Structure formats: C-alpha cells, structure tokens
Amino acid sequence: MTLTSSEGRWSVGTDITDNKVPAGPIEDAWDTRKFELKLVNPANRRKHTVIIVGTGLAGGAAAASLGEMGYNVKAFCYQDSPRRAHSIAAQGGINAAKNYRNDGDSIYRLFYDTVKGGDFRARERNVYRLAQLSVDIIDQAVAQGVPFAREYGGLLDNRSFGGAQVSRTFYAKGQTGQQLLLGAYQALERQIGKGTVEMHTRHEMLDLIVIDGRARGIVTRDMVSGAIDVHMADAVVLCTGGYGNVFFLSTNAMGCNTTAIWRSHRKGALFANPCYTQIHPTCIPVSGDHQSKLTLMSESLRNDGRVWAPLKRGDDRSPDQIPESERDYYLERRYPAFGNLVPRDVASRAAKAVCDEGRGVGPTGLGVYLDFADAINRVGQATIRERYEGLFEMYNRITDENAYKTPMRIYPAIHYTMGGLWVDYNLMSTIPGLFVGGEANFSDHGANRLGASALMQGLADGYFVLPATIGDYLAQTPSNTADASHPDAQKAVADVKDRIGRLLRPNGTRTVDSFHKELGKIMWDYCGMGRNEEGLRKALDRIPELREEFWQSVKVLGTNDELNQSLEKAGRVADFFELGELMCIDALHRNESCGGHFREEYQTEDGEAQRNDEEYSYAAGWEFAGVGAPPVLHKENLTFDYVHPAQRSYK
Amino acid sequence: MIEQAIAPAKPLVLRTSIGKKYAMATSGIILVGFVIAHMVGNLKFFFGPVHFGEYATFLRTMGSPILPHYYALWGLRAVLLAAVSVHIWAAYSTTRQSKAARPIPYAHKDTIQASYASRTMRWGGVILLLFIVFHILDMTVGVAHVGAFKETTAEHSTVYANAVSGFKHPIVTLAYTLAMGALCLHLFHGIWSMFQTFGRGSGPREQMLRRLAATISVVVCLGFLAMPWTIMFGGRP
Amino acid sequence: MNLTLHVWRQPNADVPGRMMTYQANAISEDMSFLEMLDVVNEGLIANGEDPIAFDHDCREGICGTCGLVINGIAHGPERATTTCQLHMRHFKDGQEIWIEPWRARAFPVIKDLVVNRGALDRIIASGGYISVNTGAAPEAASIPVPKANADAAFDAAACIACGACVAACPNASAMLFTAAKITHLGVLPQGQPERHSRVIAMVDAMEQEGFGSCTNIGECSAACPKEVPLGTIAQMNQDLLAGSLNRS
Ligand SMILES: Cc1cc2nc3c(=O)[nH]c(=O)nc-3n(C[C@H](O)[C@H](O)[C@H](O)COP(=O)(O)OP(=O)(O)OC[C@H]3O[C@@H](n4cnc5c(N)ncnc54)[C@H](O)[C@@H]3O)c2cc1C
Ligand code: HEM
Ligand code: HEM
Ligand code: SF4
Ligand code: F3S
Ligand code: FES
C-alpha cells in the first residue's frame, strides 16, 4: 500500500525489513555470517562466471580475489587501463584499527568513531565489520609491496587525520590511493596473466540484463569501435565509484558517472540516500567558467593551517595588509575544542556561511584563507615543506601563488557520495545476483564519511566481503549462464541502441558540456552545501524542463561506430538528469539536517545540523517508477544498540 | 608468467636488447682498453725513432721465445677483431630495433637534456668503423698510405718513418683529427653508458663517473693527436 | 591570449593522420592545457567540426591517462608536470604550439591524440607483482623495511604509467617504466623471493611489445612527470644480469 506525499512528488511503500544483518553480539556478527555462508567446491568454481564492472579499490580487489579463488571473472572499466580508476586520486590515507601508536585505538573505537562521524545514519553491524576488516587490509597491502611510509625502525608510520583523536591513518606520502590501487591492480594483472580474469578496458556498461528476476549479464559499448555487446554471467558486481559529477564541478575524475548504478536502479535496484553527498572543505576555488573540475588539497593541511576570513564585508585588501585584529579565525571562534580540525561537513558549512555574508576572498568572492604563517614561525618553513611539499607545489602549479608567502585560498567542493545502491549485509542489492561494492553502494558511512575511511571500505568490500558473499549466492544458484540470445538480453541491447540513436538524432544547438554545466549549477545552488524546501522545489521544476530541452536539442556529432567522446558524455549526462531529480526529492523528503545533508530550516540556534532521530533514523531506499514519475520510498529503519545517537558537538 | 618462467630458449644476449647491451659494453671495455694502450704506445714516438721502433717490433715479438713471432700479435688482433665485430653486430641489431620502434616520426621534436654525444653514438660508431678500416690500410698494410711506406717486420721497424711520411700531409692529419673527434664523442657517452649498462652508472657515483668518462675521452683523443700534429708542424723527436 | 595550434588529426587506426591548424582565442592564463583544448573543442562542435579526441580523466596529475607531446616535449615545457597540470600561463600570446600523440609502434594511435598503451599492462601482467593471494598476508608489522628501501621503493612506485618515457625516448624504449616496477618490488623484502624470475619475465615481455633499445640517453627520466629516477634502470640492468647468471 503506497501513501503519496502531500504534493505527490513521491510515494511511500513498504519498509525494507530483511537486510540480512546477523543477530547476536556485534563482535561475532561477521564471523557467524562467514560460517553460515555456503561454499562453492573449488573444482566447480571455473563453471561460474562473475562480471565485475569497475576496477577501483573495490572492483580491482574483488576481481583479483575471485580470480585467485578460481572463478571465471570478466572485468570492465571505462579507462584504458584498470590502474587508472579514480581511487588513484586519494591522498590522505587509509584508516585501520592497528593501534601501532598505542594511543588507545581499537576495532571498537574505530567502529564508534565511524558511526558517530556518520551522524548515526549507517548500519552499526556493517560499520563494525568495516573496522574488523581494516586490520587485514593493511596486512594484505604490505604483503603486496605497497610502499607505506615507515619510521626509522622499519615499522609502519601512522598519522592523525580528519580530526580523529588517535593516529590510525596509514599513508604513502601523498599517493595512498594510487599505491593501494596498484597493490590491487598488480594482483589483478597477475590473474589476467593466468587467464582467470578477462579484462575489458575502454568498455562502458550501458545496461543491466535481468532474467527471471535475477541479474544475469550486462550490455556494454566498446568505446573504441562503438560495438554494443552482451556479456552473460551468474552474478554481476558493480564497483563503479561515486556520482559526484552530477554537480559537474567536483573532485571526481572527468569520467566518473552514475550510469552503471542508475541503469540498474531503473531495472529495480533500490537507490539509497542519494542526497547524502560530502563536501570537502579544502579545495582550490573556481578560477573562471572554463573550469572543468576542482582540485582537492589534502585535509592534512588543516593540521598546521589556520582558516580565516576578513572581519569586514567586501574587505578586498591583500591578506598581508589585513591586521590580526581585523581577521576572523572563525573555526577557532565557533569551535574552540576542535578549531581548524572540525569534520568536513562542519568546516564546509562554516566557509559557505562566511562567503554568504560577503566576507569571501579571491576574485570570485568564493574563498577563505588557509594561513601557514604561524605554523612556519612555530616549526620553520623546512618542516612545513617536508610535511606538505607536494601539496604546496601543486597549489603553486594551479594558482601560481606561493603558499609559503601568501595564505592559500580554499573553498569547499563536492567530493564523495555516501549514497548509492541499497545493499544488504551481504552487499547484494534488491535484484538477486546484483552485488554493489565501494563508493557505489550506500552502506557504511551514513550521512558523512570520515577522512581515510572510503579506501578502507572499498578494500574491505573487494578483498574480504564480496568474495565470501558472492560464493554463497553462486552455491545456491544453478551455474547455467543464460544465453546471450535470450529475449530479455536482446531487448536490453535494443534499448541501448535506441537510446544512442536518440542522443545522436537531434544534432541540435547546445553541446553536452553546456547542459552538464547548467544541471551542475542547479544542483550546486539548490542541493549543495545548504538546502531548503523552496530551493529544492525550484530545482524539481527546472530539472525536468532542462532534461526535455536536452533530449530535443543536444548536439552530438559523429556516429556510434567510432571513438566518440561527446556521445559518451551525452549518455552520462542523460543519466545525471534523472539522478539529480531523485537527489532533490530525497533531500526534500528528509526534513532534518544530518552529515552531508544540511537543511537550512533544521539547524540549532548556533547553526549546527539539527537531526530528527524520531522520524528520520532510517535509510531511504528509492524505487524507480519511470522517468519523471514519483519514486517509491522504502525505509530501512536503523537501530543503534551500541552507539547511542547524540547531538554531534565539536565545540 | 612469473611462476612458470620456464628456462627461455634463446640466451639473454640473443633475445633481449639489454643482453645485446651487455655484449656491447663488454666489447666496449676491450676496445677502450686497447684504445688507451694504443694511445700510450703511440706516445713513444716522442722518445725518438729507435724507441718507437722497439715498441713496434716488441709488438711483433711478444711472448717469444715461448711463442713464435707474430703469434701474440695475431692473438691480440683476433681478440680485437672479435670485440669490434660483436660490438658492431650488437649496435646494428639494437639500432634496427629502435628505428622500428617509432615508424612515424614526430612532426616537431625537441629534447630536454639528451646530450649531442648520446644522440650520435650510431653515426660515431660508423665513422669509427670507416676510420679503423682506413687506418689499418694506412698504417699497417700501407695500401692507403699517403707517401712512402715500408712494412715493419719482427726485426726491422719502419713505423717512425711511415708515421712521418703520412702525417706530414695536413690532409691526413686532418682526417685523423676528425676521426678522433668522433672517438671522443663516442667515448664521452660510451664509457658512462658502459657503467650504466652494468647497473653501476647511477646513484651517488653518477656525476663522478660522468666526469671520469669525459676526462678519459678527452685525454685519449688529445694523446692520439699529439704525434700527427707534431709531425705536421715539422717536429722530429 | 590567442594561440595557433598545429594538432595531429587521425580519424582511426587504419587511416594515416596529418597535422591540422586551429586558432585558440581568448584563452585565459589560469586555464590548464586540457581546458584550453576543451574550449577549442566546444568551438569546433559549434560549427559542426569533429572535436579533437584526447585521453584525460583525473586532471590532477595522478591517473596517467593524459599525455601529449607539446612543442616536441612529452607533457610540455614544465618539469614534473603532467599535460593536465600544465597551465596556459607558460605560453605567450600569439605563440604556435605543436600537439602530437605519443609516437611509438607499441602505442598505436586509436584516434587523433588517443593511443593504445595496453603494452604497459601486459608488461605488468608478466611479472610486475608479488604473488600473494588475498588472505595469505602475514601481520603487517612482521615485515620491517629499512626506511631507505621504503623511500626508494616509493620513488619507483610513483610511476603513473603515462608512457611519457616511451614518447620522449629517442629510441621509444620502455626501460624506465619497466625498471620502475622491477625496482619498486626488488628493493622490498616482500619482493625478494621472485626478484630474479620477475626481472627476466618482465624484460622478455617488454621486448615482445616492439619497444626500442635503451642507449642510456636519460631523456625518459627528464620527461617523467613523477621524476622516476634513472637509477631504476641501473637497478634493473643489475638485477637482470644477476638473474640470468643465477639461472644458468
Ligand atoms: C580527490 C579524491 C581524494 C580522496 N582521498 C581519499 C582519502 O584520502 N582517503 C579515503 O579513504 N578516501 C579518499 N577518497 C575517496 C576514495 O578515493 C573513493 O571513495 C574510493 O577510492 C572509491 O573506490 P571505488 O573502487 O568504489 O571506485 P573508483 O575507484 O572510483 O572506480 C570506479 C571504477 O568503475 C569503472 N566504471 C565507472 N563507471 C563505469 C561504467 N559505466 N562502465 C564500466 N566501468 C565503469 C571505472 O572505470 C573505475 O574503474 C578520495 C576521493 C577523491 C576523488
Ligand atoms: C690519431 C690517432 C692514431 C694514430 C696516430 C695511430 C697510429 C698507429 C700506428 C703508427 C700504428 C702501427 C703500429 C704498428 O704497426 O705496430 C697503428 C696501428 C693500429 N691502430 Fe692506430 N693509431 C691511431 C688511432 C687508432 C684508433 C682510434 C684505433 C682503434 C680504434 C687504432 C687501431 C689500430 C690498430 C687495430 C692497429 C693495428 C695494430 C696491429 O695489429 O699491428 N688506431 N696505429
Ligand atoms: C674504437 C672503437 C670503439 C670503442 C672504444 C667503442 C666504445 C663503446 C662503448 C664503451 C660503448 C657503450 C656501451 C654501452 O652503452 O654499454 C659503445 C656503444 C656503442 N658503440 Fe662503440 N666503440 C667503438 C667502435 C664502435 C664501432 C666501430 C661502432 C660501429 C657501428 C660502434 C657503435 C656503437 C653504438 C651504436 C653504440 C650504442 C650506443 C650506446 O649503447 O650508448 N662503436 N661503444
Ligand atoms: S616512468 Fe614516468 S614517464 Fe614513464 S610511465 Fe611512469 S610516470 Fe610516465
Ligand atoms: S631516454 Fe631512452 S635510451 Fe634509455 S635512458 Fe631513457 S630509455
Ligand atoms: S588526466 Fe590524470 S594525469 Fe592528467
């Protein structure tokens, strides 16, 4: 029985009750589940084919592990090599409850911090499992030869990151993401060399094939020849990363998209918490409308930099002209306890508030200062150079400014998407046989991801969770991979070809990028750092109009049967239009503020996020009901037996 | 595949370019050794014709009485011949591999730090080959000698006279000078490259080794040119 | 500023390509090189011409997807800077810029400035890894690594497989790329068991891909955006010699 909301933009369906989370004490949850999972006899594994879309930390680790176990794996990525997935850009580090610093860290504390940091919107047992597996991830990475930073004694070095009270972050200078991904990539290439994994680079998944209610294959486009192919399998795994590019400007790579998960959503996979998007506070501000993407400066800079903005509005003097008395170190003012190390969502909102008062700096007035003068006086420029050289160099390369002399200008930017396809404890979506791992699923970070925990989640899913749970699913399904000529498979191919035809036909007046920029602007203004009911309604009116105009007058030259980058972009932007609408509906329906989702109507008197735990302590799983048709909300109520919800305070 | 890296059929030197580089570097050592010895040997010219002559006859009677005359010399010549042929074979085959590696050239190419010497090893090698052939015909066989020539025997050395009759012609000395320029360039990059081929050319020692290569190549070439230039300017020690 | 671009255009792998000239107008100094090409492409699409195809993704200098030879130098005039990190302030108004793809037989052109670098993955697949199955790892702290080795391993592991070393090398040799991975794994304790079989397997794989022979010119390390040191090539030459002597 579906209730329709007051203005009919969505309807409410039955609650999600079976998330397959094991009962019993939380410490044993994952171990009992591993024991319960059915196994596939090693001799039979060759008969099962598993498709893995995406070769980032989640996909790469899963493909390598399943290949090692003897499964027949087909892996896909849109880049020209599996090593280039966007996990490569992670700089800060990866958390693990190793407690090498003996500063009181433990699996339980990592679990506690992550649930609290997620603003109490994640499943406790998923987060506990994440904390448990974090230990094994570091062992695996070190054994693979990942060159983590070491102390002179030869053991692993740790640093504190993202406001954590303990030093639990392992890092490899400024390339933690790259080095961890190379560990998984090398294990994957080993399996490709042995023939257990078949790698398809420059292939984009354009649709999911569902037969008798089970995911049995995917439709892909070869981005070089344009060939539309069908790949059949016993199980499909999506590890396709985040959808931050719906805002056009984000720290994601240019190719990051939502196509794979969105197409699966249209085939019946619930999409959970789409409006939970994370804003990273320390990014390089926009320098003009030619900007194609934003560059992130590692959060570790906030360990030594002091954030400030001029006290007076419109004070456009150069920073060294503004005396201390006329500077507002607003983070230290508003949050004496944490100061410049407040979590990301808090720091981002504070910067936006300052700029909205007209006290922003830089040519666009959208920026605040991150000043290292005091740190340089305190520990000397050499120490600062040793800690952050790569970052200051990159900042200089982009802005031509010397951050050792003049303070850095920073402004928040879209960075990570906590939302994604809904999955149960076994990481299976609501479509049997369709698994989702890494940033593409919704599970572990609630409404706000802590720094250095996405790499942990991607690898936990890829190395340890998926190989076990997929085995359980395969053990209970017949291993007769459906034939590509199956009518449902051919229908999916026909849909893909028809859609490509509709993208090429208009040959209209506006380029794909111009539409993407306009959609991004709408999403940033009305569904970005600060959201309100009126703005979200305006967006929900404008997006369908723009979508129609897109299908009528987008200009895509060339044909499908060649390398056609405009056609690729057009396909992605078309899906972003539909996702953007669902994000606004999700933001509109959630009358509270939590983590990355800040509704201006719901804040405490001193501007903090005001959660409404009585009514909104659930994960919102949305069911697709047709383009433009009101989606159906299925709630998964969250219970917190171990970490009791409290108002997050960083004062 | 690493696990099943079965024993490869062909030896390293035949199937990989690095193997050929080992051959080129090993032969390079022998050639460099000879060139240094030969240069020092030629300096005996400055101790007068008798002394210089003894050096020439000594070469032909080395190892006697155990070895009959010319045996040791021919032994040396064989080693040299083998070294230079291995060197040239390796140079030819690696050059062919590199040319094939970029069939379509750049329309507009520039370099960042590649030294002229490093980019002209092939031309330098060809010039050296032509020089060696001409030089043997000129100094040992005498066919290509400009001016009077008499072959040296185990008993009687005419090297001094031959050198004087040859190098007093500026054209000959000039030809030799150009060849020595090519040798200098070839060794300037070659000697350091040799160390790098054996994996010893980088790290803290790199600058020292590059300076060593530069000094050897300059000293060797100037040392060689001492005799012809002195003769050309009329010097008769 | 306004610029004149000479760009390599090639519709696909089977048709020979050629240099074409385009104008890039009203280019701001704060634009990155790829953003400048974006602007040119938007103009081309506007008047119905096929946009220039080029590979790019992260635009942060870390994924290794981008790579253009700019005025004859791989990744352009700035050192330790990828094409996507090169900004237009390094060019002058009215300047001519030649833009070509990586040129090597082992990197066939797919379209315009897009090339196929699959050879680099195949070299890694031949042995560029440590054979450890998921779950088989000992406790992380049980493998102490001297800091010097860890730092040397990191400098070599920083390679982003962009292929600029091949493009810049006058011999189109892939020594620096292959040496980087051999050194990264070769100087770590975890890499010792397979050290000799790894270097032989990877060098054999490199040879089969049609790359050139290295004559120690050193241009590769100079063009490398991650400044992978030339010492990695020395390390590989050492290990290969030791490996083959040990094997025979
Ligand atoms: C700039 C930056 C810095 C970050 N820093 C940190 C950090 O310091 N610590 C931390 O913990 N996290 C960090 N993160 C977050 C973290 O990097 C990501 O969340 C995580 O790496 C995601 O990994 P993944 O495997 O889920 O997806 P990705 O690594 O994004 O991989 C996605 C894969 O899917 C493929 N793909 C996508 N769509 C398709 C399609 N339609 N068809 C075929 N293939 C497709 C892609 O080719 C790619 O291989 C950072 C993220 C960014 C952007
Ligand atoms: C200006 C430079 C040089 C001069 C003046 C010079 C002079 C001579 C002389 C006088 C001889 C005859 C000696 C004898 O017959 O015993 C000789 C022989 C020879 N030289 Fe040179 N030489 C020069 C450079 C070189 C170089 C660069 C090479 C080789 C790379 C070379 C290779 C030889 C060889 C192979 C012989 C024959 C030795 C033998 O077997 O009899 N020379 N040279
Ligand atoms: C006097 C004789 C010569 C000497 C002393 C000499 C010495 C050397 C040395 C030391 C090297 C470096 C080897 C390495 O890189 O590991 C070298 C390289 C080379 N030599 Fe010679 N060589 C001589 C003659 C020749 C000849 C006759 C050729 C003919 C083609 C030649 C062609 C080359 C080439 C192409 C290289 C490759 C460039 C390089 O590897 O750096 N050389 N030589
Ligand atoms: S060694 Fe340097 S230039 Fe070569 S592929 Fe790696 S990063 Fe690119
Ligand atoms: S430039 Fe080429 S010749 Fe060798 S040292 Fe580098 S691969
Ligand atoms: S696009 Fe990633 S390195 Fe340039």
Query: Considering only CA atoms, which of A181, A179, A413, A409 is closest in space to residue A296?
Result: A413
Please judge whether A186 and C130 are an interchain contact, meaning their C-beta atoms are less than 8 angstroms apart: yes
| Contacting residues for C20 by C-beta, under 8 A, at least 6 apart | C6, C7, C8, C9
Are A264 and A434 in contact by the 8 Å Cβ rule? The answer is yes
Residue A460, pLDDT > 70, answer: yes
SS3 of residue C183 by DSSP:
helix
Residue C221, pLDDT > 80, answer: yes
> Following DSSP, what letter does each residue of A229-266 receive, concatenated?
EEEE-SEEEE-----GGGGSSSSS-TT--SHHHHHHHH
Q: Name every chain C residue with its beta carbon within 8 A of the beta carbon of B108.
A: 6, 71-72, 98, 100
Q: Name every chain B residue with its beta carbon within 8 A of the beta carbon of C194.
A: 2
Q: Measured at the alpha carbon of residue A150, what is the angle toward residues A149 and A156, in degrees to the nearest 5?
A: 95
Per-residue HEC secondary structure of chain B comes to CCCCCCCCCCCHHHHCHHHHHHHHHHHHHHHHHHHHHHHHHHHHHHHCHHHHHHHHHHHHHCCCCCCCCCHHHHHHHHHHHHHHHHHHHHHHHHHHHHHHHCCCCCCCCCCCCCCHHHHCHHHHHHHHHHHHHHHHHHHHHCCCCCCCCCCCCCCCCCHHHHHHHHHCCHHHHHHHHHHHHHHHHHHHHHHHHHHHHCCCCCHHHHHHHHHHHHHHHHHHHHHHHHHHHHHHCCCCC
Looking at residue C25, its pLDDT comes to 94
SS3 of residue A34 by DSSP:
helix
Residue A363, pLDDT > 60, answer: yes
- Residue bearing tokens 């989370």: A21
C114 lines ligand 4 (CB under 6 A): no
**pLDDT cut 90: percent of chain A above it:** 76
Q: How do residues A413-449 score in pLDDT, each as one tens digit? A: 999 999 999 999 999 999 999 999 999 999 888 888 8
A584 vs A540: CA distance, rounded Å: 7
Question: How far is residue C235 CA from its own chain's centroid?
Answer: 20
- Residue bearing tokens 């066919």: B143
Structure tokens at B107: 């329309």
Q: Give the mean model confidence (pLDDT) for residues A324-328.
A: 91
SS3 of residue A270 by DSSP:
coil
Looking at residue A449, its pLDDT comes to 87
Residue C92, pLDDT > 60, answer: yes
Structure tokens at B160: 């001094």
Which of B139, B156, B186 to mutate to test ligand 2, by most ligand atoms within 8 A of the CB atom? B139
| Contacting residues for B49 by C-beta, under 8 A, at least 6 apart | B160, B161
Alpha-helix residue ranges (DSSP H) falling in A422-486: 454-459, 466-475
Q: How far is the CA of C215 from the centre of ligand 5 (A)?
A: 6
Smallest CA–CA distance, residue C42 to chain B, in Å, is 26
**Torsion over CA: B126, B131, B136, B142 (sign):** positive
Residue A1, pLDDT > 60, answer: no
pTM recorded for the entire structure: 0.95
Which of B34, B35, B38 to mutate to test ligand 2, by most ligand atoms within 8 A of the CB atom? B38
| Contacting residues for A283 by C-beta, under 8 A, at least 6 apart | A251, A294, A295, A296, A297, A410, A411, A412, A413, A415
Q: Name every chain C residue with its beta carbon within 8 A of the beta carbon of B16.
A: 203-204, 207, 240
Q: Does C144 touch chain A (CB under 8 A)?
A: yes
Please give the residue of chain A at the shortest CA–CA distance from B2.
A190
Residue B152 vs residue C39, higher pLDDT: C39
Identify residue C123 by its one-letter amino acid code: I
Q: Does A148 touch chain C (CB under 8 A)?
A: yes
Q: How do residues A79-101 score in pLDDT, each as one tens digit? A: 999 999 999 999 888 999 999 99
Q: How do residues C227-241 score in pLDDT, each as one tens digit? A: 999 999 999 999 999
Please say if A344 is a catalytic residue: yes
Q: How far is the CA of C17 from the centre of ligand 6 (A)?
A: 24
Q: Which residues of A395-406 are buried (b: 16+ CB within 10 A; e: fewer)?
A: bebbbeeebeeb
C31 beta partners: none
B139 vs C24: CA distance, rounded Å: 64
Looking at residue A5, its pLDDT comes to 59
Q: Give the mean model confidence (pLDDT) for residues C171-194.
A: 97
Residue A582 vs residue A17, higher pLDDT: A582
Q: Measured at the alpha carbon of residue C93, what is the angle toward residues C88 and C97, in degrees to the nearest 5?
A: 65
C130 vs A86: CA distance, rounded Å: 23
A109 vs A551: CA distance, rounded Å: 50
| Cβ-based burial of A572 (10 A; exposed 0-12, middle 13-18, buried ≥19) | buried
B90 lines ligand 3 (CB under 6 A): no
A283 vs A8: CA distance, rounded Å: 38
Q: Is A516 left (phi over 0), alpha (psi -120 to 50) or beta?
A: alpha
Q: Give the mean model confidence (pLDDT) for residues C112-124.
A: 98
Specify the pairing of strand C114-115 against strand A94-95: unpaired
Q: How confident is the model at residue A336 (pLDDT cuts 50, 70, 90)?
A: confident
Identify residue B178 by its one-letter amino acid code: L
Single out the catalytic residue among A344, A547, A572, A599.
Answer: A344
Question: How far is residue A81 CA from its own chain's centroid?
Answer: 21
Q: How do residues A523-539 score in pLDDT, each as one tens digit? A: 999 999 999 999 999 99
Task: List chains adjacent to chain A, taking adjacency as at least 3 C-beta pairs closer than 8 Å.
Answer: B, C
Q: Does A193 touch chain B (CB under 8 A)?
A: yes
Q: Does C46 touch chain A (CB under 8 A)?
A: yes
Please judge whether A562 and C12 are an interchain contact, meaning their C-beta atoms are less than 8 angstroms apart: yes
Looking at residue A109, its pLDDT comes to 93
Please judge whether A98 and C48 are an interchain contact, meaning their C-beta atoms are less than 8 angstroms apart: no
Cis peptide before B65 (omega within 30 of 0): yes
Are C200 and C95 in contact by the 8 Å Cβ rule? The answer is no
Residue A2, pLDDT > 50, answer: no
Among the residue ranges A171-180, B45-54, B151-160, C45-54, the one predicted with the least confidence is: B151-160
Measured in residues, chain C has a length of 248
B24 lines ligand 3 (CB under 6 A): yes
CA distances from A421 to A88, A436, A461, A514, A624 (A): 22, 7, 14, 28, 12
SS3 of residue A211 by DSSP:
strand
Are C234 and B201 in contact by the 8 Å Cβ rule? The answer is yes
Q: How do residues A55-65 score in pLDDT, each as one tens digit? A: 999 999 999 99
Q: How far is the CA of C180 from the centre of ligand 4 (A)?
A: 8
Measured in residues, chain A has a length of 651
Residue B33, pLDDT > 90, answer: yes
> Which value, to the nearest 10 degrees, does the dihedral of the CA atoms of residues A24, A28, A34, A38 take?
-30
Q: Which residues of A268-301 are buried (b: 16+ CB within 10 A; e: fewer)?
A: bbbbbbbbbbbbbbbbbbbbeebbbbbbbbbbbb
Complete edge-to-edge strand list for the sheet that includes strand A169-170: A94-95, A169-170, A158-159
Q: How do residues A484-510 score in pLDDT, each as one tens digit? A: 899 999 999 999 999 999 999 988 999
Q: How far is the CA of C161 from the centre of ligand 4 (A)?
A: 5
CA distances from A447 to A108, A418, C187 (A): 20, 6, 42
Are B216 and B28 in contact by the 8 Å Cβ rule? The answer is no
Smallest CA–CA distance, residue B99 to chain A, in Å, is 26
A491 vs A497: CA distance, rounded Å: 10
Please judge whether C135 and A140 are an interchain contact, meaning their C-beta atoms are less than 8 angstroms apart: yes
Which of C58, C70, C81, C86 to mutate to test ligand 6, by most ligand atoms within 8 A of the CB atom? C58
Alpha-carbon radius of gyration of chain C: 20
Q: How confident is the model at residue A6 (pLDDT cuts 50, 70, 90)?
A: low
Smallest CA–CA distance, residue A184 to chain C, in Å, is 10
Q: Does A194 touch chain B (CB under 8 A)?
A: yes
| Cβ-based burial of C243 (10 A; exposed 0-12, middle 13-18, buried ≥19) | buried
Looking at residue B5, its pLDDT comes to 58
Return mean pLDDT, chain A.
Answer: 92
Are B183 and B128 in contact by the 8 Å Cβ rule? The answer is yes
Structure tokens at C217: 């010119």
Nearest-CB residue to A89 (from C56, C62, C124): C62
Structure tokens at A307: 């954030």
CB pairs under 8 A between A and B: 3
Q: How confident is the model at residue A263 (pLDDT cuts 50, 70, 90)?
A: very high
| Contacting residues for A82 by C-beta, under 8 A, at least 6 apart | A55, A60, A75, A185, A188, A189, A199, A201, C121
| Contacting residues for B156 by C-beta, under 8 A, at least 6 apart | B57
Task: List chains adjacent to chain C, taking adjacency as at least 3 C-beta pairs closer than 8 Å.
Answer: A, B
Looking at residue B3, its pLDDT comes to 64
